[in-house]
Amino acid sequence: LNAFCFSLYVIGVRILTKHGNAPETITLWSVVLAVITAGIPSVTLEHLTFLLSPQTYLSLAIFGLLNFLAFNFVGKGFAKVKAGLGTMILLLEPIIGSFLGLVFFNEIPTMLFLTGAVVMLTAIYIATFKLD
């Protein structure tokens, strides 16, 4: 379901970009839609507390800014490359995330992860460059 919804997002970004919408506008409306679809159920079904430390609020603000920038760059990227190629590049996200985990948190990837990463890189290479 996640992959299906994300593919709809990719297609929607591509369509909206071709119709002259700026990536920032597309990102803004994506975030508004996410707040509506995730925020309303959270407010109604979860107990909210606003008694958090200033450090938590700062972390949330930084995370929100980085998330906004990430989706904005995705929108700009899909304006420059074909959706198929952009989607293949996005598949590198878990590998890059694990590399950053190793660099910043000394998290050692498991052998199963390394095997999966090699399989993913191979599949991305084959799909992107169409080996003969």
Whether the predicted pLDDT of 105 surpasses 80: yes
Residue 7: other Cβ atoms inside 10 A: 12
pLDDT grade for 61, boundaries at 50, 70 and 90: very high
Token pair of 3, please?
């992959």
- The angle that helices 83-90 and 2-18 make with each other, rounded to 10 degrees, is 140
Q: What percent of the chain has pLDDT over 90?
A: 17
Q: Which helix (H) or strand (E) holds 50?
A: none
Give the per-residue pLDDT at 130: 67
Instruction: Taking residues 66-92, report their average pLDDT.
Output: 80
Of 73, 68, 116, 71, the closest CA to residue 92 belongs to: 116
Residue type, 45: L
